[in-house]
């Protein structure tokens, strides 16, 4: 949730940054209007309550002195009715403000470039050189019999894939290697449910705005959704909790399946295994003090980048512009891996600092002296397993169609 105090302190800057993130200006106008109206109504309510307190004291004094308090009591009852009406108005305005604010994205950091879409992202650096072949490299869906798209579609429809044989073994090896690598960098392994309640999805920003991308369980007794990423349950492990200062930073890694409708991706990446409704991912999640989140962000980017480097996969770091940032992110660096079959870089990891946006929604705080302070939350892919498998297949392919296994994975095979 955005910090609504920013509306008062610097609405122009607040407005400018959110419009740069493709927020509807009308939504921001409604937000400002409702916020100001609520502020005015709260002031009116406080005045009525002040009058009520003063008149109640007056009634007590006059009653003790034996004076007639009939008209004063009538006035008190009339003011009480006004208070009840005013409280109802304030409650309704608070509800309206919360509904509007819940669909407003996080504000971008000052160093995030303004831009319309992915074409205006900024390349920060390249890591490793793309491989050079003495033959025309194939796309992953042209290599081996590891990926069975036909049977995946038979079982579940489009954007589902069965991974077979050595491909399945390599897929599992990648998961185990990623977990071990992340643990060596100080991230604690956790296993979490793949089904969560709606308030948990609200905490990390998927609900209410992105309900169309989620799979909901059709059950009258269970109000549950399949997770789109393990960021959701891992971040919310501390939903509505106050952490001790010496516990932070908390750093986790988690393997999970992820489920997404990909409602806005019709016609994109229809061939192969780039964009699936169900996929595997190893995630990084951190919960930090406000003044440590920048450093932890760098650590998470390095962790994912070093993991790719250890696999011998050429990649680049991209600073996302305002128009390409996710809903909850204040700043994001994407890692894009080189896919020889496509002859271009494709996203394989996305590391985001959400500042206190998710913590405000999920009520994740830490005790700093006598004060409870909102934590900062961060998340990132380390890595999308399917896309890493694809990158290895295309990068390590041989002219005869065979695929070499990266040295670091051999013991996991």
Q: Which CATH architecture has domain 118-412?
A: 2-Layer Sandwich (3.30)
If you average pLDDT over every residue of the chain, what do you get?
A: 95
Q: Tell whether residue 8 is among the known ligand binding residues.
A: no
Select the CATH number that applies to the domain covering 5-101 from these four: 1.10.287.40, 1.25.40.10, 1.20.1280.290, 3.20.20.70: 1.10.287.40
Over the range 272-293, which residues count as b (16 or more CB within 10 Å of their CB) and which as e?
bbbbbbbbbbbbbbbbbbbeeb
Q: Which of 275, 292, 310, 346 is catalytic?
A: 275
Question: Among 101-115, 134-148, 258-272, 354-368, which is the least confidently predicted range?
Answer: 258-272
CB 255 within 8 A of CB 379: no
Catalytic annotation on 275? yes
Cα Rg of the chain, angstroms = 27
User: What pLDDT is attached to residue 267?
Assistant: 63
The CATH 1.10.287.40 domain(s) of the chain lie at 5-101
Q: Which of 350, 361, 382, 394 is catalytic?
A: 350
Above 70 in pLDDT, residue 382? yes
User: What pLDDT is attached to residue 136?
Assistant: 96
Q: Tell whether residue 379 is among the known ligand binding residues.
A: yes
Q: Tell whether residue 349 is among the known ligand binding residues.
A: yes
Q: What is the Cα–Cα distance from 281 to 384, expressed in whole angstroms?
A: 4
Over residues 217-251, the pLDDT tens digits come to 999 889 999 999 999 999 999 999 999 999 999 99
Above 70 in pLDDT, residue 264? no
Query: Tokens for 330?
Result: 């204040």
Above 90 in pLDDT, residue 156? yes
User: What pLDDT is attached to residue 263?
Assistant: 63
- Strand 364-368, strand 241-244: pairing: parallel
Over residues 4-52, the pLDDT tens digits come to 988 888 889 999 999 999 999 999 999 999 999 999 999 999 999 999 9
The CATH 3.30.930.10 domain(s) of the chain lie at 118-412
Please report where in the chains the tokens 């961060």 appear, as a residue: 378
Catalytic annotation on 347? yes
Above 80 in pLDDT, residue 378? yes
User: What pLDDT is attached to residue 129?
Assistant: 97
User: What pLDDT is attached to residue 216?
Assistant: 96
Q: What is the Cα–Cα distance from 380 to 304, expressed in whole angstroms?
A: 8
Q: Tell whether residue 151 is among the known ligand binding residues.
A: no
Rounded mean pLDDT of 106-121? Answer: 96
Above 70 in pLDDT, residue 209? yes
Q: Tell whether residue 305 is among the known ligand binding residues.
A: no
Q: What is the Cα–Cα distance from 48 to 67, expressed in whole angstroms?
A: 24
Rounded mean pLDDT of 252-273? Answer: 82
Q: Which of 37, 87, 199, 347 is catalytic?
A: 347
Q: Tell whether residue 62 is among the known ligand binding residues.
A: no
Bridge partners of 216, per DSSP, are 225
Q: Tell whether residue 229 is among the known ligand binding residues.
A: yes
Above 70 in pLDDT, residue 269? no
Above 80 in pLDDT, residue 266? no
Above 90 in pLDDT, residue 272? no
């Amino acid at each position: 949730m955005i910090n609504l105090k920013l509306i008062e302190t610097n609405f122009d800057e607040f407005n400018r940054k959110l419009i740069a993130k493709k927020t509807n200006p009308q939504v921001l106008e409604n937000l400002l209007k409702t916020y100001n109206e609520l502020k005015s109504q709260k002031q009116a309510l406080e005045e009525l309550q002040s009058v009520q307190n003063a008149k109640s004291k007056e009634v007590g004094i006059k009653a003790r002195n034996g004076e007639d308090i009939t008209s004063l009591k009538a006035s008190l009852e009339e003011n009480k009715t006004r208070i009840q009406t005013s409280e109802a108005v304030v409650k309704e305005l608070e509800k309206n403000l919360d509904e509007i604010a819940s669909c407003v994205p996080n504000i971008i950091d000052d160093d995030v470039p303004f831009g319309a879409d992915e074409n205006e992202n900024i390349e920060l650096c390249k890591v490793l050189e793309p491989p050079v072949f003495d033959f025309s490299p194939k796309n992953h869906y042209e290599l081996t019999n590891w990926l069975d798209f036909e049977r995946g579609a038979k079982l579940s429809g489009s954007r589902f894939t069965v991974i077979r044989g050595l491909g399945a073994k390599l897929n599992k090896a990648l998961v185990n290697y990623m977990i071990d690598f992340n643990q060596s960098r100080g991230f604690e392994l956790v296993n979490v449910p793949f089904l969560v309640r709606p308030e948990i999805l609200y905490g990390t920003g998927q609900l209410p705005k992105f309900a169309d991308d989620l799979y909901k369980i059709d059950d009258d007794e269970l109000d549950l959704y399949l997770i789109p990423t393990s960021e959701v349950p891992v971040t919310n492990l501390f939903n509505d909790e106050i952490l001790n200062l010496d516990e932070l930073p908390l750093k986790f890694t988690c393997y999970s399946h992820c489920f997404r409708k990909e409602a806005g991706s019709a016609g994109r990446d229809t061939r192969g295994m780039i964009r699936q409704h169900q996929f595997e991912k190893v995630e990084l999640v951190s919960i930090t003090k406000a003044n440590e989140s920048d450093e932890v962000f760098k650590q998470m980017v390095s962790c994912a980048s070093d993991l790719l480097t250890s696999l011998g996969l050429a990649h680049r770091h991209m600073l996302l512009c305002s128009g390409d940032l996710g809903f909850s992110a204040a700043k994001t660096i994407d890692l894009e891996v080189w896919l020889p079959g496509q002859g271009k870089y494709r996203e394989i990891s996305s590391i985001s600092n959400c500042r206190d946006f998710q913590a405000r929604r999920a009520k994740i705080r830490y005790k700093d002296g006598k004060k409870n302070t909102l934590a900062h939350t961060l998340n990132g892919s380390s890595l999308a397993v399917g896309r890493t498998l694809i990158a290895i297949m295309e990068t390590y392919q041989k002219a005869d169609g065979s695929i070499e296994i990266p040295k670091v994975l051999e013991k996991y095979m």
